[in-house]
């Protein structure tokens, strides 16, 4: 499917519309995935919306494509009340997805984030993923998530973790 590159204008820059998911287990740990193209770089599953795609449906699609996790293995806890944006530092060499956005004139992404609880018996098998974006994963305490994320996305993840702890747990 063709990705939907919404032109959200902010100070003469454009942001791509996307989605992200925060996955937690019953121990209140989050799963982070290691990028295949940048060993040691961890993040949550996230990606662009397809044209006319509902954000929640897009989040579940991205989750399956990137991780192989089926909708039957998760339950929706909630969603962050606002769309969140981040800008991409233009002075860095980052992963191929960032370069793809930069070449198309995007300064960053504006995303709708969802919180999902996985079944306790889940087995994450990244070989089942359609995309080979991630090579491994790890479960970490919610309080440690922000420290594991690349620096320019940390303010966004800080908001996500604060909301999770205050509103959903």
What confidence tens digit (pLDDT) does each residue in 10-33 have?
Answer: 544 588 889 999 999 999 999 999
Q: How many CB atoms are located within 10 Å of the residue 1 CB?
A: 9
> Which whole-number Å values give the CA distances from 51 to 17, 32, 145, 168, in the listed order?
10, 27, 31, 30
Q: What is the pLDDT of residue 8?
A: 46
Rounded to an integer, what distance in angstroms lies between the CA atom of residue 17 and that of residue 127?
27
| CATH code for position 162 | 3.90.79.10
33 within some domain? yes
pLDDT under 50: residue ranges of the chain: 1-9, 11-12
66 within some domain? yes
1 within some domain? no
47 within some domain? yes
Q: What is the pLDDT of residue 99?
A: 53
The pLDDT tens digits for 79-89 are: 999 999 988 77
Question: Total domain count for the chain?
Answer: 1
* Side-chain half-sphere CA neighbours of 99 within 13 A: 6
Q: Are 47 and 21 in contact (CB under 8 A)?
A: no
Helices (H) and strands (E) counted in the chain, each on its own, are 4, 9
Q: What is the pLDDT of residue 60?
A: 96
pTM of the model: 0.85
46 conformational bin, left if phi > 0, alpha if psi -120 to 50, beta if neither: beta
Domain that residue 74 falls in? 8-168
2 within some domain? no
Rounded to an integer, what distance in angstroms lies between the CA atom of residue 156 and that of residue 149?
10
95 within some domain? yes
Q: What is the pLDDT of residue 5?
A: 40
3 within some domain? no
163 within some domain? yes
């Amino acid at each position: 499917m063709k990705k939907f590159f919404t032109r959200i204008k902010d100070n003469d820059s454009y942001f791509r519309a996307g989605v992200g998911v925060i996955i937690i287990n019953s121990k209140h740990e989050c799963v982070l995935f290691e990028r295949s193209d940048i060993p040691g770089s961890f993040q949550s599953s996230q990606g662009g919306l397809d044209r006319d795609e509902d954000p929640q449906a897009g989040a579940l699609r991205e989750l399956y494509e990137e991780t192989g996790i089926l909708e039957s293995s998760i339950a929706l806890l909630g969603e962050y009340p606002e769309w969140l944006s981040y800008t991409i530092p233009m002075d860095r060499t980052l992963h191929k997805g960032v370069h793809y956005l930069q070449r198309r004139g995007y300064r960053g992404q504006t995303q709708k984030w969802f919180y999902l609880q996985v079944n306790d018996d889940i087995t994450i098998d990244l070989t089942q993923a359609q995309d080979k974006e991630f090579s491994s994963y790890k479960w970490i305490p919610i309080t440690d998530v922000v420290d594991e994320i690349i620096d320019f996305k940390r303010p966004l993840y800080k908001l996500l973790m604060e909301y999770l702890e205050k509103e959903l747990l």
